[in-house]
Amino acid sequence: MPRIRDQAWEKIFAVKGWKGTGPFTITADEIKAITNQEPRLMAKFDMREDRPLILQQRGLFILPVQDGVYKILPGEGYHDLEPLSTTQEFVSRVAFSLYSLHRGIGEMQHLDYAYNCGLLGEIVGDHTLYLAARGRKRSGAFRLRVEQEWLEVEGVQIEIDAGYEGRHSIVLIEGKIRKSPYGNFIIRQLYYPYRDWTESVKVARVPKTVVPFFFIHEPGTETYNFWRYSFADLLDYGSIHLVSSSSHRIVWRPDNTQSQILKIQPDAKLEGIIPQADSLSRVVELVFRVSEGLDNSKAIAEHFGFDRRQSSYYREAAESLGLVRLEPDNRYVLTDEGKQFVALPTPERYVKLASLIIAMPIMKRVIEAVEGRLGQWVTNEEIAQIIAQHSHIGGSTAGRRTQTIKSWLKWLSKGLGWPEVDAQKGVRMRFVIPSGG
Beta bridge partners of 428: 420
Q: Are the C-beta atoms of 321 and 227 separated by less than 8 Å?
A: no
Would residue 147 be called left, alpha or beta, if left means φ above 0 and alpha means ψ between -120 and 50 degrees? left
The pairing of strands 78-80 and 60-66 is unpaired
Indicate the residue type of 298: K
Per-residue pLDDT of the chain (437 residues; tens, 9 = 90+): 568 899 999 999 999 999 999 899 999 999 999 999 999 999 999 999 999 999 999 999 999 999 999 999 999 999 999 999 889 888 787 756 665 655 556 788 889 989 988 899 999 988 889 999 999 999 999 999 999 999 999 999 999 999 999 988 999 999 999 887 889 999 999 999 999 999 999 999 999 999 999 999 998 778 999 999 999 999 999 999 999 999 998 876 655 566 677 778 888 999 999 999 988 888 999 999 999 999 998 999 888 888 878 888 999 999 999 999 999 999 999 999 999 999 887 667 878 888 999 999 999 999 899 988 888 899 999 999 999 999 989 888 998 999 999 999 988 776 666 788 888 999 998 666 655 44
CB-side exposure of 319: number of CA atoms within 13 Å?
Answer: 17
State the CB neighbour count (10 A cutoff) for residue 348: 17
Provide φ and ψ at 259, rounded to 5°.
Answer: -65, -35
Indicate the residue type of 49: E
Sequence-distant (6+) residues with CB within 8 A of 61 are 45, 51, 55, 72, 73, 75, 76, 77, 78, 186
Q: Cα(262)–Cα(19) distance, rounded to whole angstroms?
A: 70
